[in-house]
Amino acid sequence: MKHIKTLNNANLKNSAAKGGCGECQASCQSACKTSCTVANQKCEK
Amino acid sequence: MIHKYYLNGFYIVLDVHSGGVHVVDAVIYDLLDFVAPPFSQELFEKACAALSDKYTSEQLLEAYEEIKELTEAGVLFSADDYEKFADMMVSAPIKSMCLHVAHDCNLRCKYCFASTGDFGAGRKLLDAETGKKAIDFLLTHSKGRKNLELDFFGGEPLMNMPVIKEVVSYARSKEKEYNKNFRFTVTTNGILLDDEITDYLNREMYNIVLSIDGRKEVNDRMRPTVNQKGSYDVILPKFKNLVDKRGDGQYYVRGTFTKYNLDFAADVLHLNEVGFDQVSVEPVVADPKFDYALTEEDLPRVFEEYEKLAKAMIEKKKKGEGFNFFHFMIDLDQGPCAIKRLRGCGCGNEYVAVTPDGDVYPCHQFVGMEQFKMGSVFDNSINQEMKDDFARANVYTKEECKNCWAKFYCSGGCNANNYQYAGDIRKSFKLSCEMEKKRLECAIMMKAALAADDAE
């Protein structure tokens, strides 16, 4: 494409279908304790 | 739903429901003000009429075709089909615990949400028996979950080091029998760190959070000792020693910024300059009645500072001196699944806090609010009704989140903040939302900038 560069796989929908195992870290436990960002957590799978 | 913004020379378009992140040119950026599904010749002609002084008809047609192509590929204007998953959000096993080993502290940080460490309920240390009961509570309530997280928190947890050791060794002794893997973390102000404790923590803790606010004068203003002396000179060498010895183990130096240091990018960069490559500096959580509290009028300045930090970090990264800033860390491909992103921190459902009295609360921020006491480790009880209510708090039951572009990045924000400021765990706290959105825009822009640099 000439006008658009896509930076990622845009796979959020696939992740919903096979996700939800619940093994990943609670986001608040990592560093924040007072605010919330979840997108920086890692998937355990 | 899409979200588009221009930052630091980049036109960025996010497709919220596929997670797609696109860097576009000005033609696409402007055209997206006019066209959206269902695409029609009429809309396109309107766009052409409005943009004909800026772009040629050939450019516009070419761009329009690309927009349609991405839409067909499901990565632009993709449908919101997550609500069905949100309906499935029911009570989950409890697998994370914030264990308050000390409701006491040897610092007197002025912004402390825990009222100088005692959470307004008197100074107290957790005893080993209660700590072991907390482990038993986690072992049984975690059901089939294998990975369990336990954060030693306070007050200042190192004031109760013997109990930390006893609890760790008790938990480890149960791992095999229960098929669990404990990941311990500790959040400390560093005052009591010595070589022996440092080595112990480096050995046993999966993650260590070291509290320091940044530049000496900034840190010492808000984080004095009980005798009102600065803490910076005491803790910095201890933190450096711990990190030097830690190897690849996870840690963060973690600070708080307030209205007193709205130039907080300097504090983040300072922490990196003195030798730390994992840094988190976060906005203070405080009642607006306090001088140091952040208020909406501070937002333009805070935004400017996040941008400044992002640009400085890009330059450092290009020079091979990159470091991590917690709130700018995003993995656009391998991050958490959409299910995790629907409800974020999991407080009161997957995550609880336990006090030195063995009382269970939804998280450390709720400790001391009697109406949120939801169980006890002594009788292994949990208020299922309250747990279910927290379980249902997700981005589709929070009205402001449902239609927010950032919902899959922040996952509904902090329920405790929502309760403290808006009186309801489902009502978003605007100040936090605005800062979070700005951080995300900066974080994604950094990806664009570094990708452009790689391409060159």
Q: What is the pLDDT of residues B371-396, one digit of tens each?
A: 999 999 999 999 999 999 999 999 99
Please provide the distance, in angstroms rounded to a whole number, between the alpha carbons at the two ends of chain B: 31
Q: Are strands B351-354 and B359-361 parallel, antiparallel or unpaired?
A: antiparallel
With CB atoms and an 8 Å threshold, state whether B439 touches A2. Answer: no
pLDDT band at residue B360, thresholds of 50, 70 and 90?
Answer: very high
**Residue from the list B95, B338, B412 with its beta carbon closest to the beta carbon of A15:** B338
C-alpha to C-alpha distance for B423 and B233, rounded to whole angstroms: 40
Please give the mean pLDDT across all residues of chain B.
95
Altogether, the residues listed in chain B come to a count of: 456
Q: What pLDDT score does B349 carry? A: 95
For B:211-250, CB contacts with A below 8 A are none
For B:88-107, CB contacts with A below 8 A are 92-93, 95-96, 98
Q: How far is A7 from chain B (nearest CA, A)?
A: 6
C-alpha to C-alpha distance for B218 and B211, rounded to whole angstroms: 13
Q: What's the half-sphere exposure (Cβ side, CA atoms, 13 Å) at A22?
A: 19
Q: Which residue is closest to B64 within chain A, CA to CA?
A: A3
**Residue from the list A11, A18, A35 with its beta carbon closest to the beta carbon of B414:** A35
Backbone phi, psi, residue B43, to 5°: -60, -45
Suggest the residue from A28, A32, A45 to mutate for an interface test with chain B (most B CBs closer than 10 A).
Answer: A28
Q: What pLDDT score does B121 carry? A: 86
Q: Does the pLDDT of residue B368 top 80, yes or no?
A: yes
Q: Give tens-digit pLDDT for B128-180.
A: 999 999 999 999 999 999 999 999 999 999 999 999 999 999 999 999 999 99
Whether B18 and chain A come into contact, CB under 8 Å, resolves to yes
Q: What pLDDT score does A25 carry? A: 86
With CB atoms and an 8 Å threshold, state whether A7 touches B413. Answer: no
For chain A, the helix, strand and coil percentages under 3-state DSSP, each to the nearest 5:
30, 5, 65
Q: Which residue is closest to B86 within chain A, CA to CA?
A: A16
Q: How far is A19 from chain B (nearest CA, A)?
A: 5
Q: Give tens-digit pLDDT for A2-44.
A: 999 999 998 899 888 877 888 988 878 777 777 667 888 888 8
C-alpha to C-alpha distance for B51 and B39, rounded to whole angstroms: 17
User: For the residues B91-99, what does the mean pLDDT come to?
Assistant: 94
* Nearest C-alpha neighbor of B442 from the set B268, B276, B294, B321: B268
* Nearest C-alpha neighbor of B425 from the set B365, B374, B375, B376: B365
Q: Residue B289, class by beta-carbon neighbours within 10 Å (0-12 exposed, 13-18 middle, 19+ buried)?
A: exposed
Q: How far is B447 from chain A (nearest CA, A)?
A: 8
For B:362-391, CB contacts with A below 8 A are 363-365
For A:14-33, CB contacts with B below 8 A are 15-16, 18-20, 22-33
Look up residue B12 and give its two tokens.
Answer: 């960025």
Q: Tell me if B17 sits within 8 A of A12, measured CB to CB.
A: yes
Q: Give tens-digit pLDDT for B45-94.
A: 999 999 999 999 999 999 999 999 999 999 999 999 888 887 777 889 99
With CB atoms and an 8 Å threshold, state whether B98 touches A11. Answer: no
Suggest the residue from A11, A35, A44 to mutate for an interface test with chain B (most B CBs closer than 10 A).
Answer: A35
Q: Give tens-digit pLDDT for B291-316.
A: 999 999 999 999 999 999 999 999 99
Q: What pLDDT score does B441 carry? A: 98
For B:386-405, CB contacts with A below 8 A are none
Q: What pLDDT score does B178 carry? A: 98
**Residue from the list A1, A23, A26 with its beta carbon closest to the beta carbon of B345:** A26
Backbone phi, psi, residue B114, to 5°: -100, 20
C-alpha to C-alpha distance for B78 and B177, rounded to whole angstroms: 46
**Residue from the list B147, B283, B337 with its beta carbon closest to the beta carbon of A15:** B337
Q: What pLDDT score does A37 carry? A: 75
Q: Tell me if B265 sits within 8 A of B442, measured CB to CB.
A: no
- The tokens 């005692």 sit on which residue? B118
Strand partners, B24: A4, B11
Of B233-242, B339-348, B376-385, the poorest mean pLDDT is in: B339-348
C-alpha to C-alpha distance for B247 and B251, rounded to whole angstroms: 10
Q: What percent of chain B has pLDDT over 70?
A: 100
Higher pLDDT, A17 or B281: B281
C-alpha to C-alpha distance for A24 and A20, rounded to whole angstroms: 9
Chain B residues lying within 8 Å of A36, measured CB to CB:
344-345, 410-414, 436
Q: How far is B14 from chain A (nearest CA, A)?
A: 10
Q: No. of H helices and E strands in chain A?
A: 2, 1
Q: Tell me if B24 sits within 8 A of B10, measured CB to CB.
A: no
Q: Does the pLDDT of residue B450 top 80, yes or no?
A: yes
Q: What percent of chain B has pLDDT over 90?
A: 88
- Continuous H helices in B191-264: 195-204, 216-222, 232-246
Q: Tell me if B24 sits within 8 A of B12, measured CB to CB.
A: yes
Q: What ipTM was reported for this prediction?
A: 0.94
Q: What pLDDT score does B456 carry? A: 80
With CB atoms and an 8 Å threshold, state whether A23 touches B350. Answer: no
Q: Does the pLDDT of residue B9 top 90, yes or no?
A: yes
C-alpha to C-alpha distance for B278 and A30, rounded to whole angstroms: 12
Q: Tell me if B274 sits within 8 A of B232, measured CB to CB.
A: no
Q: Does the pLDDT of residue B263 top 80, yes or no?
A: yes
Q: What pLDDT score does A2 carry? A: 95
Chain B residues lying within 8 Å of A26, measured CB to CB:
95-96, 149, 345-347, 350-351
SS3 (DSSP) at B135: helix
Instruction: Count CB pairs under 8 A between chains A and B.
Output: 211
Q: What pLDDT score does B240 carry? A: 98
pLDDT band at residue B194, thresholds of 50, 70 and 90?
Answer: very high
Chain B residues lying within 8 Å of A23, measured CB to CB:
95, 145-147
Q: Are strands B324-325 and B278-283 parallel, antiparallel or unpaired?
A: parallel
Q: Which amino acid is at B47?
A: A
Look up residue B169 and give its two tokens.
Answer: 């060794």
Please provide the distance, in angstroms rounded to a whole number, between the alpha carbons at the two ends of chain A: 32
